[in-house]
Amino acid sequence: MSPGSVSGHVHFISGGSAFNASMVYDDMRKAKCSSCTCIWRLSTRLDMSNYWTPQLNVHLRNGSFAPVPTRSDSDDHGLGMTVYYFQRYGDGEKLRAFPPGFRMVAGDPDKRNFTGDLSARAVTYYCAGGGLANDTWGLPDVNCPDYLRVMLFMPSCWNGKDVAPPMGESHVSYPVDEPGNGKCPPDFPVHLPTLFYEVEYDTGRFKEEWVDGKQPFVFANGDATGYGFHGDFINGWDVDVLQEAVDTCTTDPGGTVEGCSVLDQFTAEECLACKLPSIVSEDVNGPLPSLPGCNPVTNGSGPANPVSDCPDTAKLGPFAPNYVDLTTTKQWSYIGCGTDNYFTRALTENHTASTSMTVETCVDYCASAGYTHAGLEFGQECWCGNELKADNAPKEGYLGSCTMKCAGNTTQLCGAASAISLYRKCASDDAQRACKNYQFGGAPSLEEPPPSLPQTIPASSSTAAPPTAMETSSTTTPTPTAALACPHNNCINQIFDPTASVSASTFCASYTQSVNTDPSAIPGYLNNCQGKPEEVSSACCCLAHPTAYMGA
């Protein structure tokens, strides 16, 4: 941990939206959302903790580096990190919830060989589809065509005194015999819930990057061995509720939150929309000539030597804007990232699409037609209207899932699949509503427009998913690029198929610009689109952004 400064390497971060360069427990409890499965109860935020590990990168054949995305589910959502809360303890012990302000780290970023101690045995790797009989201690030397799962046990024994010492591991220990089970040692007598991290990376797409049989993956700290994997945790729980869950949710053999009446959860869509803008002035998305920071790739039998006199110039700053400021040039303002799909459109009165779409192009199109709202989606679609539906409106405290680059200007963001970047014409009466953009950290700008232009009020959050468990899965998108968000399913594969009756370039151009709302327009050979026009639109949008990362 490096509070108040830029970390020495890039991390993959999950959890509450209050995460910042410096934060205390009270700050974390004020988070508006979490990228985890959003454990709540009776509108009370329960787990606003943060969990993070180093980002995995691929060292490409051309010498550059790029982040490896996490594995996606059937809806092409990045699965991110899964965090398990195991209720394990030794004879005569009682589990205690993490206290307020508690934080800890596990692992040594500089380690480059297997040392055999409990800390080393806390990290394992599972190579899905690689044919290995057992998990490995370091990065496997075989291709993992399905995915690579990295697993880490965090320490679960506490000295009962310090919650955040300067050395993040001096107040905690592993149990006596095993990293994830057993009795605590005498100097660390308080047994806490056992945190177990899983991160599944989509390594199969990089099978062509292997050189002379050597695996091409390296963590952000320069570790090409996997022995330097590490994890961090800062407690953001409602401590009393966590203690109640630990004490009472013990009968479900599967450990699911559905079997724990103490806890509840929001939908996966809300978790996916819980993102943070960058506060560091540095490109970490790749391809990059070197790993961010001063992190040369290292192997070997001894620990890595930290680089001295590092010329790294990355600085902390304010949140990077995720919108185009049109308040002065066009008197339109950004009001946030909403949700949108074929069945419940946010704006319904007019639309167009273009492979040269920009924010300005869309706003000009809607303004010239007399509309007060403009929305951009899939990188190249523009939607117009005078009324924004409540269920599609941006939610307070949510940055949203608008991470797809605009087809006509890759420095701008134009929504994404089922996410829409929303702009609105400013009122002529400044006293009624100032012309200003939505700033992340505050409520979305959803004041009433002029009386002649009705607008529905945003709906409050609802609990639509079944109760969650002592398994907290968090979903984040490590890189906000269209390429890494592209679906890798049969729908897009068949669009690429040269044997299809219509070529992809011809089909997509006509489909997205004219009949993309007509299910009957979907060709039969796109069977995996399941009759859903938005699936085809998403696949076609990916075709407009071909990259080396997108596999057919």
What is the chain's pLDDT, residue by residue, as a tens digit (552 residues)? 566 666 778 888 888 888 887 788 998 898 888 888 756 555 566 888 999 999 999 999 999 999 998 886 545 556 678 899 999 999 999 999 999 999 999 999 999 999 999 999 999 999 999 999 999 999 999 999 999 999 999 999 999 999 988 776 899 999 999 999 999 999 999 999 999 999 999 999 999 999 988 999 999 999 999 999 999 999 999 999 999 999 998 877 777 777 788 887 767 777 777 877 776 777 787 788 999 888 899 988 788 887 877 776 677 666 677 899 999 999 999 999 998 887 888 998 999 999 999 999 999 999 999 999 999 998 999 999 999 988 899 888 788 889 889 999 998 999 988 899 999 999 876 544 578 898 775 433 333 333 222 222 222 222 222 222 344 434 333 333 333 345 556 676 666 665 555 666 667 766 765 555 667 777 766 766 767 777 777 677 666 544 333 332
CA angle (194 as vertex; 8, 217 as ends), nearest 5: 40
Which two structure tokens, joined as six digits, stand for 406?
């605009």
480 assigned to some structural domain = no
117 assigned to some structural domain = yes
Same structural domain, 198 and 106: yes
1 assigned to some structural domain = no
471 assigned to some structural domain = no
2 assigned to some structural domain = no
Same structural domain, 152 and 255: yes
515 assigned to some structural domain = yes
Same structural domain, 341 and 426: yes
Q: How many domains would you assign to the chain?
A: 3
Same structural domain, 221 and 362: no
Same structural domain, 78 and 196: yes
Residues in the chain: 552
Same structural domain, 258 and 340: no
Same structural domain, 328 and 220: no
Which two structure tokens, joined as six digits, stand for 360?
């300005």
Structural domain that includes position 448: 322-459
The Cβ of residue 128 has, within 10 Å, a number of other Cβ atoms equal to: 15
Count of H helices and E strands in the chain? 9, 25
**Angular region, 121: left φ>0, alpha ψ -120 to 50, beta rest:** alpha
Same structural domain, 515 and 440: no
Same structural domain, 346 and 421: yes
Same structural domain, 449 and 512: no
Give me the residues paired with residue 333 across strands.
424
CB neighbour list of residue 464: distance below 8 Å, 6 or more residues apart = 266, 267
Q: Is the N-terminal amide bond of 287 cis, ω within 30° of 0?
A: yes
Same structural domain, 443 and 492: no
Same structural domain, 217 and 155: yes
358 assigned to some structural domain = yes
Decide: 478 and 12 in contact? Cβ < 8 Å.
yes
pTM for this entry: 0.74
298 assigned to some structural domain = no
